[in-house]
Structure 1
Amino acid sequence: MARKKSVPDMFDVVIAGGGYVGLSLAVALKQGDAGLTCAVVDPKPMEDLHKDPRASAIAAAASRMLSQLGIWQKIAGEAQPINEMIVTDSKLRDAVRPVFLTFGGEATEGEPFAHMMPNGVMMPALYKAAKALGVSFFAPGTAETFRTHPDHVELVLEDETLLKSRLLVAADGVRSRLRDLAGIRTVNWDYGQSGIVTTVKHERPHNGRAEEHFLPAGPFAILPLPGNRSSLVWTEKTADADRLVRSDDFTFELELERRFGHHLGTLELDGPRRAYPLGLKLARDFVKPRFALIGDAAHGIHPIAGQGLNLGFKDVAALAEVLVDARRLGQDLGGFDVLERYQRWRRFDTFQMGVVTDVLNRLFSNDNDVLRAMRDFGLGIVDRMPGLKTQFIKEAAGFAGPVPKLLSGEPI
């Protein structure tokens, strides 16, 4: 066996995963303490980040964090504010889809509760900021295995490069290899659904309105993008989703129109279509000695509430605050007592959101007339209670519960 290549420096933090969550953690740590040494490992070339055709919903709290990190100011011109949201509940064959619930789009006066942001805009901005702050990158680079020692952890990459750090953070997605290697068990089940993600152009303007149509197979979300364009998150049974993704454009667009409707005029596909299996996966532990999970590695939830990415940003803000505070106090960044503070902060909130999305999906993704009548009655009641709607908007905006400083727009 070839001898492992060793990187001479001992990093304070090594982050496995260069997506939104991993990159934003690297930026937050370096801005919180410029002397902290940080590295990011990712199997994809960082230079290809601009090629991601998808878009993401960024809650108001997350945009405050990105503003504090100096990112939002550079990309805000590419964001689409969500000014309004409507919720319908019907069968696919119904000629009319009555609106049961409407939300105004402001978390606070003049601040939309969310924006839609193209991935190909935000990811490169995060990468450039991290590079400018002195974050080291090993990309492409695949984390192969790691070993924990009393005072550090060793991460071995696929090319046998050896990285040493005080703390290893796994931000490597819902199928996290490092989580499994750490022996962290998960609560998980498969919904038998897949989410089709694509982008469409339409003839008429959306005026910043988001729509969530609850259909028997699952939610069909229309999320506004800049211009006369929208991002779709279309839930179907897995077999049907695979069939639709493999179908020709004519068949796909025909099925799309049945769900989308004609209120925005003629539709045209404006990007690739992909299907992603949906399930619930919650890590039983978020930390081990010298090891922490963030983002989808810690929690994979149903997109019905649009909170998956924003849960990851909450992880970033909480972990960055805990680590920077610990460093100022001269504490060991990888010590279990330090990491346990992060776990206490984030685990309950995550499990709570996982349960909420699971219940919502089971309640709405069916064709039971009795359940439909009950849930539509409930939606109507909520629509008539401004105080409860305000609380829902606060939750969607990311301001519910103990909020880390970055999510309030404050420096660490």
Structure 2
Amino acid sequence: MAQKLDVCIRGDGMVGRTLALLLARQKLRVGLVTSPPKTTQDVRAYSLNSASRDLLSELRCWPDALHATPVQHMRVWGDDGGFTHFESPTPEGLTWIVDVPVLEAQLAEAVRYQAEITSLTAAEPAALTVVCEGRASATRDELGVNFEVLPYQQHAVAARVRSSTPHRQQALQWFHHGAQGLEILALLPLGGAQGDTASLVWSLPPERTKDMLALSADAFGIALENASNGALGQIELTSERAMWPLQLAHADRWTGNFADGSAWALAGDAAHNIHPLAGLGLNLGLADVAELANVLKAREAKDYWRSVGDRYFMRRYERARKADMVPTWLACDGLQRLFAHPNTGVQALRNWGMNGFNSLAPVKAWAMQQAMG
């Protein structure tokens, strides 16, 4: 039977929808497998860099200023006097904290009005199938791909909060080594430049996670005030609390072929997971689909005779993204392990390093450019 689709995308999250829009612009026939609507409140927010902003702006899906808050300052405290501060070199900001439900809605609206994209309830045959199903991808498991997982002894607790002091476009982060292990608290500014709301991501040991989720809303707010040293004044919980286990993971193969010869590729969390401490998760998934779209765009010139699932394109995509991912994996995992180490000598060394880094302007400027994309 002749294939009606050029590309079938399994997963209609932010990564899958972005890819669908990119490929539809190349006049490819795209099928997007949709999921049932969420039944719980989505409290997530992501830190997006300039590359992600440019990509989403090009698709006319970048949220307005109220839902994409520029970060002008990033302040990070260690667990024993360590401190570093990043200040944006431009009024645009270091990164942008984007409200996930708003971004998802804008991507869904753009998909709805794109004639080249067909919404599907189940996967259909295509020259190329791209798997964007997230970290628990069923298709990846069916393909027999080895997904190497290194669990961290931490869970992320996420929520929305309101503070008595405006956030002044600051992203704040604290590392603390408590009795049960490493804790990382991040408060990310929401609601625009003058806002007083924030996205909370609190990475905690499993037992501490249970304790925090068992607290009343008022008690949870007080615990946050204490953990953040009152930096934003009184804190009020304004949403449900979400929780998920943290891990470092990556697939050994990102591309391959089905038994019928058609191609498949992994993207986003189906291909890799990292710790949220650096705020890179969605940026990496968007970089995956941007690279895949760029690789396939070569068909419009000299490689027009190749299928979208040609092994030549798949190899180029996999090599490029794996090469870009390795430094990120090493840096994020290394930082998590450094702060998780309980030895007092290591503790002193990491806090000394933070203070030393804070005083090295050229090194800080380089690090900011890398983070800003």
* Pairs within 5 Å for 1:12-411: 12-31=6-25, 33=26, 35-45=27-37, 52-72=42-62, 75-90=64-79, 98=81, 100-106=83-89, 109-134=90-115, 135-138=117-120, 141=121, 157=122, 163-216=124-177, 217-226=182-191, 227-289=195-257, 290-328=263-301, 329-330=303-304, 331-398=306-373
Counterpart-to-counterpart distance in 2, 1:50 and 1:395: 35
Instruction: In structure 1, give the amino acid aligned to 2:282.
Output: L
SS at match of 2:144: coil
Closer, same or farther in 2 for the Cα pair 1:349/1:379, shift >3 Å? same
Question: How many equivalent pairs are there?
Answer: 358
Q: CA deviation at 1:9?
A: 5.8
Deviations for 1:137-188, whole angstroms, at most 9, x for unmatched residues? 12xx4xxxxxxxxxxxxxxx3xxxx611110000001111111112211222
Instruction: In structure 2, give the amino acid aligned to 1:323.
Output: L
Counterpart-to-counterpart distance in 2, 1:63 and 1:76: 12
Counterpart-to-counterpart distance in 1, 2:324 and 2:76: 25
Counterpart-to-counterpart distance in 1, 2:199 and 2:349: 30
* Identity fraction in percent: 30
Q: CA deviation at 1:77?
A: 4.1
Deviations for 1:182-212, whole angstroms, at most 9, x for unmatched residues? 2211222111210100111011111001111
Instruction: In structure 2, give the amino acid aligned to 1:12.
Output: D
Counterpart-to-counterpart distance in 1, 2:253 and 2:366: 29
Counterpart in the other structure of 1:154? none
Counterpart-to-counterpart distance in 1, 2:95 and 2:84: 17
RMSD: 2.0
Instruction: In structure 2, give the amino acid aligned to 1:42.
Output: T
Deviations for 1:357-376, whole angstroms, at most 9, x for unmatched residues? 11111111244321121111
TM-score, scaled to structure 2: 0.91
TM-score, scaled to structure 1: 0.82
SS at match of 1:163: coil
Counterpart-to-counterpart distance in 2, 1:23 and 1:80: 22
Q: CA deviation at 1:30?
A: 1.5
> Contact 2:73–2:85 (CA<8 Å) still a contact in 1?
yes
Deviations for 1:363-394, whole angstroms, at most 9, x for unmatched residues? 11244321121111211221122221112112
Instruction: In structure 1, give the amino acid aligned to 2:18.
Output: S
Closer, same or farther in 2 for the Cα pair 1:55/1:234, shift >3 Å? same
Q: CA deviation at 1:349?
A: 1.7
SS at match of 2:124: strand
Q: CA deviation at 1:239?
A: 2.5
Counterpart-to-counterpart distance in 2, 1:362 and 1:53: 27
Counterpart-to-counterpart distance in 2, 1:337 and 1:209: 44
Counterpart in the other structure of 2:260? none
> Contact 2:74–2:87 (CA<8 Å) still a contact in 1?
yes
Instruction: In structure 1, give the amino acid aligned to 2:169.
Output: G
> Contact 2:82–2:351 (CA<8 Å) still a contact in 1?
no
Counterpart-to-counterpart distance in 2, 1:351 and 1:99: 27
Q: CA deviation at 1:49?
A: 9.8
> Contact 2:6–2:29 (CA<8 Å) still a contact in 1?
yes
Deviations for 1:31-73, whole angstroms, at most 9, x for unmatched residues? 2x1x21111113223xx6995332111111110111112222x
Deviations for 1:225-273, whole angstroms, at most 9, x for unmatched residues? 1120111110111222133213322432332222122232221101111
Structure 1: gaps spanning 5 or more residues = 1-5, 92-97, 142-156, 399-412
> Contact 1:189–1:280 (CA<8 Å) still a contact in 2?
yes
> Contact 1:188–1:279 (CA<8 Å) still a contact in 2?
yes
Closer, same or farther in 2 for the Cα pair 1:120/1:272, shift >3 Å? same
> Contact 1:50–1:119 (CA<8 Å) still a contact in 2?
no
